[in-house]
Amino acid sequence: MQTSAETVQAVSNLVVSGTWSITNYVDSGTDETNDYAGYSFSFNADGSLDAVNGGTTITGSWSVTSDDSSDDDDYDSTDDIDFNIFFSTPPNFEELSDDWDIVSRSSTRIELIDISGGNGGTDSLTFEKN
């Protein structure tokens, strides 16, 4: 079993290789995947995050962190590894801004979940490698 630090590094190494697409985004029961159709996401080693669709580029930031105290979420995870995404604009990209929990990962797919503390809604987000 990997330590939290090893898991953080493994996830970081995974996402910086290549570009990714959102293949599933459900916001409190509403499928909003189509809002991100055509966007290619690049997770850069410097922590910047670019979403590119033709001539449109939306820039944000990302990180993977270990938060062994699970008081920031309700998802039961032995290693509380947060996949942090932040976009300040536009509004549909702001919705992706959160400290997501990793449900599963492979070399071509990463599944994330967030349980909202406010309304208790569950959001899910899946990236697949292009």
CATH number, domain with residue 111: 2.40.128.270
Domain that holds residue 72: 4-129
DSSP H/E element including 94: helix 91-94
Q: Which amino acid, one-letter code, is at 66?
A: S
Examine the pLDDT at 58 and tell me if it is beyond 70: yes
Contact in structure between 103 and 111 (CB atoms under 8 Å): yes
Q: Find the mean pLDDT for residues 68-89.
A: 70
Strand partners, 67: none
Tokens representing 16 are 């910086």
Written as six digits, the tokens of 11 are 């996830």
The whole-angstrom separation of Cα 87 and Cα 83 is 14
Rounded-to-integer distance, Cα 11 and Cα 102, Å: 9
Report pLDDT for 78.
44
Give mean pLDDT, residues 22-34.
Answer: 96
pLDDT at residue 68 in the model: 62
Number of domains in the chain: 1
According to DSSP, the residues that pair with 100 across neighbouring strands are 83
Q: Mean of the per-residue pLDDT values for the chain?
A: 90
For the whole model, what pTM was predicted? Answer: 0.88
List 65's β-bridge partners, or say none: 82
